[in-house]
Structure 1
């Protein structure tokens, strides 16, 4: 295996434990990897504002891959390096389908999420993980109607997402949406659908960032657990799935580490990047 020069890390179910915390041990290993000259960054479906402040400000982390690869940032210089946006008309088509069902729909512009205020007040109906409720409430801008935001912005966006109260409705929406070839669908959670422009995913975006920085895909490692990490683990030189990962993610991986509640990321970095 080639020397690891870059590591892309998913957040939920991967780097963060079930309580959405970064453990002290994981913090220490990230510092050691950075001190060893390895470029570490978040590779998340979250918008930039959704990355925990501790990780946004982590010493030595200079880049962020957000919204499943729609936006890749040089965070030191607040510079947008890669932008792969969802056309407004495609987003409207997706949202019209979401509106047929009982969903909490969200839109993302410039790394900021917007959601319907009334649905946000009832987030527990749609977000089936109580550990996510505070995160969603504190990182989304509550608006009376997301369609008004789209009309006002009148431009392409990072991505759209819907959280479903009912799994049969999610399955029906997925079937309908998958007929629209201009959309890239993933479900990082069992109860959501995230939509990017076709061809946009974490994997190709991370490899593209590597190329910009002179790092070959063979020298890139990534860790993930959800459906939006399948391309991530396939595209990089060395893909690591968490023990708690979805089956298709494990199939895409070169190695399966322990779970996110057992510091699986730290263990994988120690073993394969720090060689101990």
Structure 2
């Protein structure tokens, strides 16, 4: 019997327009009636997820910033802060990379320097509380994630620049076609989900996980019922026991109906 469902957001739960699928609230009511815990796991920050879900968010648990921040019972229960010297090093390396825009992510706000309108449009889709500053090096907030947005060469930069340079001491992952997310070593959605499972004494055999991208791999490994979306990159599909219908076809809701309800 499934006791916990964890789902990614972009490309998974959300439709092609970035909206919650029709019927989500009804599914949530039915899940709650069966005492199943529903966890939303995303690279998005907590304040954006609160905006995305509105009042029904109080019934959800959240793995935010790809696992660097975890919220359960409406309280932050885990936060992994990156050392200031490392943040400075990441900013410097990003500025040396053509087309890169750096976003510093704290629990309450994201920070970015002046950038193109095209970059800013993409950034504002995911960071609803955003402050444009003159110099990122002057930020004193605790930073839980550093994100690079590159509209042209994100994947190439991930594999040729940032992974070789930083993956020995940091978690460096592509979280979308134009995004690279960097957090402390060992921080990922999978470990965050495992901690929630252990807190509630929920086993792998009682866990259902849905995702679509490389930052979901560790999370998918935590659930016996692991679903990769049909719209995922082909090499992602090896990480799921099942293939769910695409996000456009509301695959998450269909999988929950069939396997959990």
The answer on whether the counterparts of 1:222 and 1:239 sit within 8 Å (CA) in structure 2 is yes
Change (3 A) 1:15 1:146: same
Residues of 1 paired with 2:57 and 2:176: CA distance?
Answer: 30
Residues 4-42 of structure 1: per-residue CA shift (max 9 Å, x gap):
101111111111111111122233222211222110021
**Partner in structure 2 of residue 234 of structure 1:** 221
**SS of residue in 1 equivalent to 2:15:** coil
The answer on whether the counterparts of 2:111 and 2:130 sit within 8 Å (CA) in structure 1 is yes
Residues of 2 paired with 1:264 and 1:192: CA distance?
Answer: 24
TM-score of the superposed pair, with normalisation by structure 2: 0.90
Residues of 1 paired with 2:6 and 2:127: CA distance?
Answer: 26
- Deviation above 3 Å: which 4+ runs of structure 1? 136-139
Is 2:130 the counterpart of 1:140? Answer: yes
Select which of 81, 85, 89 maps to 2:77: 81
Q: What aligned pairs does 1:250-261 form with structure 2 within 5 A after superposition? A: 250-261=237-248
**Partner in structure 2 of residue 175 of structure 1:** 160
The answer to which of 236-245 and 5-14 deviates more is 236-245
Residues of 2 paired with 1:43 and 1:103: CA distance?
Answer: 25
Residues of 1 paired with 2:117 and 2:214: CA distance?
Answer: 22
**Partner in structure 1 of residue 64 of structure 2:** 66
Residues of 2 paired with 1:166 and 1:209: CA distance?
Answer: 36
Is 2:205 the counterpart of 1:218? Answer: yes
Change (3 A) 1:265 1:202: same
The answer on whether the counterparts of 1:97 and 1:173 sit within 8 Å (CA) in structure 2 is no
Residues of 2 paired with 1:57 and 1:238: CA distance?
Answer: 28
**Partner in structure 1 of residue 145 of structure 2:** 159
**Partner in structure 1 of residue 110 of structure 2:** 113
The answer on whether the counterparts of 2:205 and 2:225 sit within 8 Å (CA) in structure 1 is yes
The answer to which of 51-60 and 208-217 deviates more is 51-60
The answer to which of 21-30 and 191-200 deviates more is 21-30
Select which of 250, 255, 260 maps to 1:263: 250
**SS of residue in 1 equivalent to 2:2:** coil
Residues of 1 paired with 2:49 and 2:58: CA distance?
Answer: 16
**SS of residue in 1 equivalent to 2:147:** strand
Q: 1:171 deviation in Å?
A: 1.6
Structure 1 stretches lacking a partner, 5+ long: none
**Partner in structure 2 of residue 193 of structure 1:** 180
**Partner in structure 1 of residue 33 of structure 2:** 35
Residues of 2 paired with 1:49 and 1:193: CA distance?
Answer: 20
Residues of 2 paired with 1:59 and 1:99: CA distance?
Answer: 36
Residues of 1 paired with 2:30 and 2:189: CA distance?
Answer: 24
Residues of 2 paired with 1:35 and 1:227: CA distance?
Answer: 32
**SS of residue in 1 equivalent to 2:253:** helix
Residues of 1 paired with 2:218 and 2:235: CA distance?
Answer: 10
Residues of 1 paired with 2:82 and 2:242: CA distance?
Answer: 32
Q: 1:91 deviation in Å?
A: 2.3
TM-score of the superposed pair, with normalisation by structure 1: 0.85
Q: 1:137 deviation in Å?
A: 6.4
